Amino acid sequence: MIIYRSHMKCSRVSLPSCHTLEPICVQLTTSGGPIVLLNLHRPGSVRPSASFFDELSSVLEVLVTFSCKVLVGGDINIHVVEDTADVDARRLYQLLTRFDTTQHVNSSLRRAVSSYPTQSVHSQLVA
C-alpha cells in the first residue's frame, strides 16, 4: 500500500510480471519534482529463489530509466547487510549496490528502504 497527500499527482508505473515478489510502484509529482515509490513484499515462508533476484533486478532496471529520485521500501524478509554469512542477504546487498542505492534503515529488521540515486528523498515526501 502506498499512501500519499492529496495535493500530489499520482500515476501507476508499469512493471514486469513477477511471481516471487509483489511490487506496487507509483510516480508522485511533488513540489520538489517527481519521485518514484516502489513498495515490495516477498513472503518469508520460503527461502528466496534465483527467480526472486532476477525479478527484483528486472524491476530495478525499469526504475533506473526514470530521471528522478526513486525510493524502494517494503518487507522482503531478507536482511540487507554486506558482511554476513547469509548468502541471500549478501546477494541482495550486492544487487542493491549494483544499482547504486543507499540503504536508509540500519537495523536487524528485514525491511529495505533504499533510494536511487544516492540522495535524500525525505524533503520531497514531507513537503
Does pLDDT of 46 surpass 50?
yes
Number of domains in the chain: 1
CA 97 to centroid of chain Cα atoms: 12
- What DSSP line would sit under 44-72, residue for residue? TTSPPPHHHHHHHHHHHHHHTTSSSEEEE
Average per-residue pLDDT for the chain: 82
Give the tens place of pLDDT for each residue, 92-102.
888 988 988 87
- Does residue 33 lie within any of the structural domains? yes
Please identify which residue in the block is written with the cell numbers 549496490.
97
- Does residue 2 lie within any of the structural domains? no
Beta partners for 74? 40, 112
C-alpha to C-alpha distance for 86 and 126, rounded to whole angstroms: 35
C-alpha to C-alpha distance for 91 and 82, rounded to whole angstroms: 9
Does pLDDT of 126 surpass 60?
no
Does pLDDT of 125 surpass 70?
no
Give the tens place of pLDDT for each residue, 29-45.
988 889 999 999 998 88
- Does residue 86 lie within any of the structural domains? yes
Which among 9-13, 67-71, 77-81, 104-108 has the top mean pLDDT?
A: 9-13
- Does residue 3 lie within any of the structural domains? no
> What CATH number did the domain enclosing 76 receive?
3.60.10.10
| Contact predicate 45/95, CB 8 Å | no
Give the tens place of pLDDT for each residue, 100-112.
887 776 654 444 5
- Does residue 68 lie within any of the structural domains? yes
- Rounded to two decimals, the pTM is 0.79
- Does residue 104 lie within any of the structural domains? yes
Residue 1's pLDDT is 79
Q: What is the DSSP letter of 6?
A: T
